[in-house]
Structure 1
Amino acid sequence: MKSPLDRQALKNKVITFLARREYSRAELVLRLKSKAESPDILEDVLDELEAAGYQSDRRFAEIFIRNRLSQCWGLERIRYELRQKGICPSLTAEVLQEQSPDWDLLARTLVEKRFGETLAADLKEQARRLRYLVNHGFSYDQAQRALKTDLQ
C-alpha cells in the first residue's frame, strides 16, 4: 500500500491535475481525500492554491457551462451536472446569467443537428423527439417550441 501524500506531494499532485484541466474543489477533494495524510492538510493545500489563483470554482463553472452550451445542453442538465460537481446553485445561476444563453435557439439547433429539417411523421415520433430534448435539459415548453409542435 502506498504511503499517504505529505503537504508538498499533495500540492504537486493538485497542480498536476489542474495543469490538464479545470477541476472544482469538490472534485479535487473527492479524488485526493484518500491519498492525503489528513483531510486538514488537503483543505489547507486547496485553500492555498485557490488563494494563488490555481483553482477556482467560478472559472471551472464558466468553462463547464461554455462547453455544455456549445454542445447544446439545456439549463436543467447543466444545473444538475454542476451540482454533481460540487458547484453551489447561486454560483451556477450567476455564471449562467452572465453568459445569458438563448435556450430556444439552443433547442432548435439541437433539433436540427439530431433530426434535420424534417418534421415528425406521427405523434410517436414527436413524443420521441420531445423526450430527447427534455432529457438534454430543456423544459417541456422549450422543447415544444423547438419542435414547432403543439402536443396536447
Structure 2
Amino acid sequence: MRISKLAASKHKKGRILVQLDSGELLRIGEREVVAFSLYVGKELTAEEKTALENAARESGLKDRALSLLTTRPMSRKELTDRLMERADATDEEAEAVADELERLGLLNDRTYAETLVRHYSAKGYGPYRLREELRRRGVPREYWDQVLGDLDDPAETIDALLRQRLRGRITDRKELKRASDYLARKGYHWTDISAALRRYDASLEEDEI
C-alpha cells in the first residue's frame, strides 16, 4: 500500500492524516512521521502499517495522560483508570503509559500522597479524613503511614477549629456534642477532641464531654 497524501489535521493540533491509495485514512502524530520516515509515495508493508498504527496509539495515550496530569496531580491508579475510561485504553496499555511516566519522574505516588496530605491538612482535616482521601484517590497503603507520620501535633488545629465553631462561648452539653461531632467528621481522634474541649473550658468534667 502506498501513501497518497500527508496533511495536517484542521481540527486537532499535532495530528497528521495519512491517506493510503487503498482509500484508508490513518491518524497519527507528528513524531510518527519522523520516526517512520513517511512521505508521499512511500510504500508501506502490512507490518509497517500495523507498527505505525500501534506507535500512533501509544503516542496518543501518552499525550492524553500528560494532558490529564497537567490538569491536576493524580495517583497512578487515578491515571490508569481515566485512560481506560476516557481513552479506551486496555489495562496493559494504561499500565505501560504509567510505567513510562514514572520512569520520567512525571508520576510519583509518594510525592502525590505528600501533596494530598498537605492540601487537606490545610483545610483542617484530621488523620481519619486524610486516610479516607488517600484511599479514595488510589494511593497505595504503603505510603499512608509514611506521609501521615510527618504530620504535626493536631492540637493547635483542633483548638482553632473549636474556637471558630463555638466563638468563644461557654456552651451547654448539646452544643458541645455538636462541636465534638463536627471535629469527628473532620477526621480527628476522640482522645484529641476531648483534650481540646478541656483546654477550651477547664471546668468541664469527663462525663460532660
Residue 92 of structure 1, aligned match among 136, 144, 158: 144
Partner SS, residue 7 of structure 1: helix
Q: How far apart, CA to CA, are the structure 2 residues paired with 1:66 and 1:78?
A: 10
Q: For 1:132, which of 161, 167, 182 is the aligned residue? A: 182
Cα gap change, 1:23/1:143 in structure 2, threshold over 3 Å: closer, same or farther? Answer: same
- Number of aligned residue pairs: give it: 146
Cα distance in 2 for residues equivalent to 1:111 and 1:53: 41
Q: Which has the higher strand share?
A: 2
Tell me whether 138-147 or 74-83 shows the greater mean CA deviation.
138-147
TM-score with structure 2 setting the length: 0.65
Identity in percent: 29
1:83-131 per-position Cα deviation (integer Å, ceiling 9, x unaligned)? 111112230110122x331112221122223332223x21111111110
Question: Which string of whole-angstrom CA distances, capped at 9 and with x for unpartnered residues, describes residues 19-53 of structure 1?
Answer: 12210111112222132342111100000001100
State the one-letter code of the partner of 1:112.
Answer: R
**Contact between 2:134 and 2:144, CA under 8 Å: does it hold in 1?**
yes
Match of 2:101 among 21, 25, 49: 49
Q: After TM superposition, list the pairs within 5 Å mapping 1:67-82 onto structure 2.
A: 67-82=119-134
Aligned counterparts of 1:29 and 1:150: Cα–Cα separation in 2:
52
Partner of 1:16: 67
| TM-fit CA distance, 1:147 | 2.0
Q: Which aligned pairs between 1:98-137 and structure 2 lie closer than 5 A?
A: 99-119=150-170, 121-137=171-187
Q: Residue 150 of structure 1: CA displacement?
A: 4.3
Deviation at 1:151, TM superposition (A): 4.8
Between the aligned partners of 2:64 and 2:98, the Cα distance in structure 1 is 11
CA distance in 1, matches of 2:71, 2:89: 24
- The structure with the largest alpha-carbon Rg is 2
Unpaired runs of 5+ residues, structure 1, are: none
Query: Retained in 1: the 8 A contact 2:61–2:97?
Result: yes
Higher relative contact order structure (alpha carbons within 8 Å, sequence separation ≥ 6) = 1
Q: Is the 8 A contact 1:79 1:89 kept in 2?
A: no
What letter is aligned with 1:107? I
Residues 24 and 122 from structure 1, CA distance in 2 versus in 1: closer, same or farther, beyond 3 angstroms? Answer: same
The 2-side partners of 1:47 and 1:113 are apart by 45
Contact 1:27 1:86 in 2 (8 A): yes
Q: Distance in 2 between matches of 1:13 and 1:141?
A: 46
CA RMSD of aligned residues (A): 1.7
SS at match of 2:63: helix
Q: How far 1:82 sits from its partner (Å)?
A: 0.3
